[in-house]
């Protein structure tokens, strides 16, 4: 039987804090943070998820999981007082005595983490690390990948849709244009600064989990292509892989991956 401290220690090695931006949240954010106490807590069941929701917390209770490893924190870092759904989640977690561990940007950026898993899932070869200036350092935000020659934006979208089984894909660019230099960033991994930096580095296509109206305008002016699938679809492979790693390292603990479904539906209009 493994202790909570052993699992937390493994997670901190898999997703080191050196890759955590100053305004991000990671590590134990709720529950037992004291090392001495962590060493006394024995685990038989734990859960891994992308987003913490009330149904996820209820499932944790049903399976007796007192550790929940999530990709995203539901609690805004800047808020001193929680209201609404975050407050509701906090009540449920405290009631069930669940320790929450967050593996966010650090799990996405690290070698072998979420971005590499996404590239592997798509069948793309990683050629380089896409680094961006952040807090005075170069951070490995994404991965530069190669695609087969003569891959048009249209064929790329069709391939991604089939490979990741996503219902809809948003894009910016001419469908007949070829993709030559591709960067992929899992999650909501794009800002105007990051897009412009990718353009400066000579990338012509940016694949991620979200973009805004303003970013689409900027990409059009830069003649950059953006492809975005539902954010969670870029994150599921990485969190599933994290679950597999933890299972292999600690077979005496049952790690349950709670794969999410899209929290919204898409209605395609008829021509």
pLDDT interval class at 134 (50, 70, 90): confident
So what's the pLDDT on residue 1? 81
In the chain, the percentage of residues whose pLDDT exceeds 70 is 98
For the packed helices 153-164 and 114-122, what is the interaxial angle rounded to 10 degrees?
A: 100
At 125 the three-state DSSP class reads strand
Cα–Cα distance between 49 and 43 in angstroms, integer? Answer: 17
- Highest CATH level, class, for 2-107: alpha beta
| Phi, psi angle pair for 110, to nearest 5° | -65, 150
At 99 the three-state DSSP class reads strand
pLDDT interval class at 262 (50, 70, 90): confident
Tokens 């303003």 correspond to 214
Residue 270 in this model has a pLDDT that exceeds 70: no
Residue spans of alpha helices (H) in 33-152? 35-40, 54-63, 84-95, 105-109, 114-122
**CATH code at 111-232:** 3.40.1390.30
In the beta sheet, which residues pair with residue 171?
227
Cα–Cα distance between 29 and 229 in angstroms, integer? Answer: 29
So what's the pLDDT on residue 264? 86
So what's the pLDDT on residue 228? 98
So what's the pLDDT on residue 78? 61
Q: Per the confidence metrics, is the pTM higher than 0.85?
A: yes
In the numeric block, which tokens belong to residue 75? 């609690």
Nearest to 43 by CA among 54, 32, 51, 53: 32
So what's the pLDDT on residue 206? 98
* CATH 3.40.1390.30 placement within the chain: 2-107, 111-232
Give, in order, the Cα–Cα distances in Å from 55 to each of 49, 69, 260. 11, 15, 10
């Amino acid at each position: 039987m493994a202790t909570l401290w052993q699992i937390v220690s493994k997670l901190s090695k898999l997703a080191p804090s050196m890759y955590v931006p100053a305004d991000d949240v990671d590590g134990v954010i709720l529950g037992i943070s004291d090392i001495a106490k962590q060493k006394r807590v024995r685990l038989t069941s734990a859960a891994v998820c992308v987003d913490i929701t009330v149904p996820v917390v209820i499932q944790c209770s049903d399976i007796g999981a007192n550790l929940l490893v999530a990709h995203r924190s539901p609690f805004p870092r800047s808020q001193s007082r929680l209201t609404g759904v975050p407050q509701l989640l906090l009540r449920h977690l405290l009631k069930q005595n669940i320790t929450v561990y967050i593996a966010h940007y650090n799990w996405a950026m690290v070698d072998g983490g979420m971005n590499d898993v996404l590239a592997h899932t798509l069948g793309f070869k990683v050629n380089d690390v896409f680094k961006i200036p952040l807090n005075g350092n170069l951070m490995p935000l994404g991965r530069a990948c190669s695609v087969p020659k003569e891959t048009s934006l249209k064929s790329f979208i069709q391939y991604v849709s089939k490979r990741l089984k996503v219902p809809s894909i948003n894009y910016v660019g001419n469908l007949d244009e070829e993709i030559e230099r591709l960067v992929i960033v899992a999650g909501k991994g794009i800002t105007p600064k990051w897009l412009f930096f990718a353009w400066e580095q000579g990338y012509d296509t940016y694949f991620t989990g979200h973009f805004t109206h303003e970013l689409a305008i900027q990409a059009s002016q830069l003649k950059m292509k953006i492809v975005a699938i539902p954010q969670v679809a870029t994150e599921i492979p990485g969190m599933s892989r994290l679950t597999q790693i933890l299972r292999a390292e600690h077979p005496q603990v049952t790690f349950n991956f709670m794969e999410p479904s899209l929290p919204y539906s898409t209605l395609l209009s008829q021509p």
